[in-house]
Structure formats: structure tokens, C-alpha cells
Amino acid sequence: MIEWPDVISGLLRALGFLLLFQAAGTAAFLAIFGPSLTRSRPAITRLGLMAAVLAMVAVTGHSLLDAARMAGDFRGVLNPAMQKIAMISSSGAAFACRMAGLVIVALAFPRANDHTFSTRPARRLALALGVLVAAASFPLTGHTSVSPSRLALAPTLLAHVAIGMFWFGSLLPLYLLSLAEPRELAVRLIEAFSKAAVRSVPLILVAGLVMTALLVPGWSVFTQPYGQLLLLKLALFAILMLLAAANRWRFGRQAGPAFRKAVALEVGLISCVLVVTAGLTEFFSPE
């Protein structure tokens, strides 16, 4: 039976996923494309920093509720013994790693008056490091961490998450630069992102299929809630890939209102995928 601590924990997990992916993805976008930005970098930096700070709040709230879920009510949050058990578990290790990644990203974001960002690769390397640390928190807990195939699953999940962060977290920066940058520069950056996405985003699907093959014990799983949510996630992702490809081809060279509407739709669909993923990993098991 799902109790109120479970419901609130699930909501915080979904919100934490969205904010974490936005913060880390914005960091990855700036690490790759930041030196080419002119007018839009301050707004993109503010977006990433705000997402990182809010992600810390959501991730901390979700971690604190682990003790409440074990205790069966919210009083577990104030129980030191329960909190100690939660913090020494795999979930505690994942929380520490996730927070470390967010802190690194938040500190590495360039300040509004930083005119040396383009010539300081160390800051961009720090942004990339923060993304990798945040993504590395996912294999530390959950189904992949206890699977007999975890040695194969861990790097697969890491790639799955890191590329997903880059894709999702780059969409709002693309939206912002299409508003602020000169049209020729905006089109050039959109095309550069599209080329990177074409090479990397299909790997999200490949990694997902590999993990499904290694985690799912048999076809009967797809008649159960875990399998049904997994199929929903795969269906949404397939629609998303088709939409993204069509949008880049039709609207990328315009960098105008049609492009921004397409990006907004893409953000909404990926958000749905992340919410489904949060519910899938929070409440269900492939076993």
C-alpha cells in the first residue's frame, strides 16, 4: 500500500529528475557551446544555476523522506536512527554523489560579468566534471546496482543518463539563444547542436534496450506495472526522436517562433519521459 510519504517522495523524485537534468544539461551545453555565445550566455547561466539550486532542494527532500518511508510516517524524518540507516545505504551514496555533482556545476557556472569564460577551459572542464559526477549517482542505487549484470549495466546507465541530460538540458538554452543571438549565429549553433544530437541521442535508445534485456527476466514482466510503464517510456521516446528529427529539419534553419514552439513541445515530451522514469524506479521492480 502506498502511503503519503511514498506519494510525496515520488513527486520530489520526479521534480528532482527534471531539475537535475536541466542543471546538468545546461552545464554540458555551456561546456560545449558556451565560448560561441554572446548575448544569451547570462540568461542561460541563470537558468542553469537556478535549476541546480532547486535540484539540491528537491534531491535533499527526497533523501530525507527515505527515513519516513522506512518508518511508515513522516515522523521518520526526525528519527536519527532511521536517517542513519538511510544515509549508509546505496540511496545515501547516490544522494551524496548527486549533490556533489550539483555543487560542482553550480560553482563552475560563469558569472554574468565573466568575460574570460571563452578563454578559460578549466571552467568548462569543471562543468563537464559536474555533469559526469551527477550522472554517476544513478548506477549507485536502484535495480542496476543489485543486478548480477551490474558491471555491464553501470556504464550503460551512465551513458544513458549523461546523454539524456545533455539533450534535455540543452533545449531551453537553445530556446533562449534563438531569442537573443543574431540569427546567423543562432542558426549555426542550432545546427551544431543538431549534429551532436544526431550522433549521441540514438545511443539513449540503444542503452535503454540493452538495460531492458539485462534487467527484465521474461516477457511476463510486460503484463505488470513495471513492464507497462517501461513500454510507455519507450513509446514516448520513439515519438520524441521522430519529432526531434522533423523539427530540426523543418525549423532549425529559421531559429524563429516555429522552432521555439517545437522546442517547447520537445521539452514537454521529455518531461513526461522523466516523470514516468521517476515513477518506474521509485515504486516498481522488474522482478
Q: Flag whether the pTM goes above 0.85.
A: yes
- Note the pLDDT of residue 106: 96
| Per-residue H/E/C for the chain | CCCHHHHHHHHHHHHHHHHHHHHHHHHHHHHHHHHHCCCCHHHHHHHHHHHHHHHHHHHHHHHHHHHHHHHCCHHHHHCHHHHHHHHCCHHHHHHHHHHHHHHHHHHHCCCCCCCCHHHCHHHHHHHHHHHHHHHHCHHHCCHHHHCCCHHHHHHHHHHHHHHHHHHHHHHHHHHHHHHHCCHHHHHHHHHHHHHHHHHHCHHHHHHHHHHHHHHCCCHHHHHCHHHHHHHHHHHHHHHHHHHHHHHHHHHCCCCCHHHHHHHHHHHHHHHHHHHHHHHHHHHCCCC
Q: Supply the mean pLDDT for the chain.
A: 87
Kindly tell me if the per-residue pLDDT of 141 is higher than 60.
yes
Number of domains in the chain: 1
User: Is 157:135 a contact under the CB 8 Å cutoff?
Assistant: no
In this prediction, residue 287 has a pLDDT band, given cuts at 50, 70 and 90, of low
Q: In this structure, what CATH number is given to the domain that contains residue 171? A: 1.20.1630
Write out the residue range of the structural domain in which residue 214 sits: 4-283
> If you average pLDDT over residues 62-72, what whole number do you get?
79
Kindly tell me if the per-residue pLDDT of 1 is higher than 60.
no
Kindly tell me if the per-residue pLDDT of 279 is higher than 90.
no
In this prediction, residue 174 has a pLDDT band, given cuts at 50, 70 and 90, of very high
- Note the pLDDT of residue 38: 87
Q: pLDDT by residue (tens digit) across 119-128?
A: 578 889 999 9
